[in-house]
Amino acid sequence: MWRFENDDPAAVAGRVPVKIGVVTFPGSNCDYDCYRAVRDVLDVETVFLWHKAHDLEGVDAIFLPGGFSYGDYLRAGAIARFSPIMREVREFAEGGGPVAGICNGFQILCEAHMLPGALIRNRNLKFISKPVHLRVESAEPPFLSAYEIGQVLQVPIAHGEGCYVADDEVLDRLEADERVVLRYCDANGNITGDSNPNGSARNIAGIVNETGNVLGMMPHPERAVESLLGTDDGVGLFRSVAEYLATV
C-alpha cells in the first residue's frame, strides 16, 4: 500500500527538479540497475559518480550500489571505504544529505563507520540469491515514507557476506532508537529463524544512522521496481526519496 495518492512515481519526483547520484566503484555491478531504477522509474536526472571523483555534481541524494567493490579483497567494502569520493559522501551525509547503501553499499557504510556493526559471511558460508520477505519496521523519511509499518515486501537478495552483526549494546541501542527499519520475515510478517536467510542478528535487514539520513540494507530494491521482474515492492524506497526531496 503506497501512501501517495498518485500512483505514478514520476509525478512525485517531478514536482521539483531532483538530481540523484549513483557511485561506481571498480567491481560495482548493480550500479546500472540502481541508475535505471532512479532514472526510468522516477524520471529524474541521474548521474554516475566515479569513485576517484571529488565532485558530487550537485546531487540531492546518493546511492552506493551493490557488487564487489575492489573484488571484496580483505573484506567486503574494506577497500572502497578509502575511495576518494567517500570523503565527499561522508561530508554530504554529515550535512544531512540522504545516502543509501544497498548490499555492497551497506558493507561500505559499515566499514566507513557511517553505520554501526559489520557484515560477515552468511551462516551457511554460501552465496545466496533469491527473493525474501521483509517487514517494514519504520515508515520515516527519507527512505521509507511510502510504506506502512508492518507492511511485508518481497525483494531479492544476492550476497555472500550479508550476515549483520554487532555487539548486544549496539543492537539494543538500535532497537531503542527505532533504527532497525527492515527485518527478514516470512510471507505473513512473522520474524522467524527460518525466514532469516543469512543469520543476521535479530533478523536485521536494514538500519539507519542516528539522524536517519543514512540507510544500509542488504536486499536489492532496485531489482524490484517492475512487476515484470516478479515484484515492484522496491519502488517505495525510490518514491520515498523523491517525495522527501520534493519537500525539503
Amino acid at 62: I
Three cell numbers at 234?
522496491
Cα–Cα dist 101/175, whole Å: 20
115 close to 207: Cβ distance less than 8 angstroms: yes
Block residue for cell numbers 510504506: 147
Phi/psi-derived region of residue 160, left when phi > 0, alpha when psi is between -120 and 50, beta in every other case:
alpha
The sign of the dihedral angle between the CA atoms of 157, 236, 87, 91 is: negative
Which sequence positions are flagged as catalytic? Answer: 103, 220, 222
Cα–Cα dist 16/12, whole Å: 9
